[in-house]
Amino acid sequence: METRAIQNGHKFSSDVMPLPNPHLVQMETDILYHIAIATNTHDLPSLFGDVKFVCIGGQPSRMSRFAAMVSRELGDPLPEGQTPQNYAAGTDRYAIYKTGPVLAVSHGIGFASLSVILHEIFKLLYHSRCKDVKIIRVGTSGGLGIKPGTVVITKECVNGMLNNYYEMPVLGKLVRRQAVPDVDFVNDLKRFADKMCCSFPTVTGKTLSVEDFYEGQGRLDGAICDYTQDEKTAFLKRLSGIGVVNIEMESLLLTALCHKAGISCATVCVTLVDRLEEDQLTNSRETMVEWQSRPLTLVTGYIKHKLGL
């Protein structure tokens, strides 16, 4: 099979999505353990070769609802009472649903859980010989100075030290990976949101993306807290002053790994609380459910638009 050189001098077959790992081409079988899929048990090009969008979110139930929504919008609704097929049903760690050229994937919460599924989804796309795939995270966040229910399309993400890179130890060394956003993708999503005249507000802005829900986000209501109300308020105002409009736990890693792998990505999250006002989520369940549907509605419409439907 013809090969071509790609980044860092690695060679991959000419008809597959490249990944920056030369060891993959030497593997006879690749077991994607956490999604119960392997190259010797699944015909990946037949199952997933047409994928153009991968939408990821924290909860399996949310992504199941999203898959059903996409099915309806693409003109292939599920039969009454039927739920989407979970291609990762052989494990209870993650869920994967497919509707036409769209995958809906759960990623759990935080960097560690997201990292595992991203590696295996990247490899699934690679082995399936997919091309020109875009990944979109749809989820929730805490807002800063914006009305709860606002949808934020992340234009830049920073870590807890307010730097735009992700760091992790690899083989005893600290590896730094820049979180470089796909500006064209972000702008395209925002243009679509403005054009479709959503009934909810949509903004672009910086996102603080950290590894913790409590202390890492400056909350006072965790089991441990070593700072004062004034210190917390000063930090949040500092964030707001540099353009941060929301806080969550995944976009930094998503952006860094996708940039490293050469895959386009974006993060679209609704805010559930204004952290300048309070820490806890006090709105009704019905309100929260409606707000959480907003990123799904926006992204579903965008996908339908890009597919020309």
- CATH number reported for the structural domain that contains residue 234 in this entry: 3.40.50.1580
Cα–Cα distance, 297 to 274 (Å, whole number): 22
Task: Say how many CA atoms lie within 13 Å of 183 toward its Cβ.
Answer: 1
Q: Are residues 128 and 240 in the same domain?
A: no
CA angle 15, 21, 22 (to 5 degrees): 75
Cα–Cα distance, 204 to 186 (Å, whole number): 8
Calculate the CA dihedral of residues 64, 149, 74, 267 and round it to 10 degrees. Answer: -80
Q: Are residues 35 and 149 in the same domain?
A: no
State the amino acid at position 13 in one-letter form.
S
- Examine the fold and report which residue of 115, 132, 149 is the final residue of a domain before the chain moves on: 132
Cα–Cα distance, 162 to 16 (Å, whole number): 36
Q: Are residues 108 and 160 in the same domain?
A: no
Residue 96 near residue 87 (C-beta atoms within 8 A) = yes
Q: Report how far apart, in Å, the C-alpha atoms of 69 and of each of 56, 95, 109, 145 are.
A: 14, 16, 23, 31
- Examine the fold and report which residue of 77, 110, 132 is the final residue of a domain before the chain moves on: 132
What is the per-residue pLDDT for 199? 85
Give the sign of the dihedral formed by CA 36, CA 42, CA 47, CA 48.
positive
> Which domain, by its residues, includes 277?
139-309
What is the per-residue pLDDT for 118? 98
- Mean pLDDT for 152-175 is 98
Q: Could you tell me where the DSSP H helices lie in the chain? A: 44-48, 60-73, 110-127, 183-195, 229-241, 251-261, 285-306
Of 169 and 283, which is predicted with more confidence?
169
- Examine the fold and report which residue of 104, 132, 160 is the final residue of a domain before the chain moves on: 132
**Total domain count, the chain:** 2
Q: Are residues 149 and 215 in the same domain?
A: yes
Q: Are residues 144 and 268 in the same domain?
A: yes
Q: Are residues 122 and 175 in the same domain?
A: no
Q: Are residues 154 and 296 in the same domain?
A: yes
CA angle 210, 143, 116 (to 5 degrees): 35
Asked which of 58-62, 63-67, 74-78, 283-287 is least confident by mean pLDDT, the reply is 74-78
Q: Are residues 147 and 259 in the same domain?
A: yes
- Mean pLDDT for 264-291 is 94
pLDDT tens digits for 68-80?
999 999 988 888 8
pLDDT tens digits for 214-253?
999 999 999 999 999 999 999 999 999 999 999 999 999 9
Q: Are residues 236 and 123 in the same domain?
A: no
Q: Are residues 101 and 229 in the same domain?
A: no
Asked which of 3-17, 84-98, 127-141, 219-233 is least confident by mean pLDDT, the reply is 3-17
Q: Are residues 214 and 122 in the same domain?
A: no
Q: Are residues 147 and 110 in the same domain?
A: no
Residue 109 near residue 58 (C-beta atoms within 8 A) = yes
DSSP labels, 134-186: EEEEEEEEEESSS-TT-EEEEEEEE-TTS-SEEEEEETTEEEEEE----HHHH
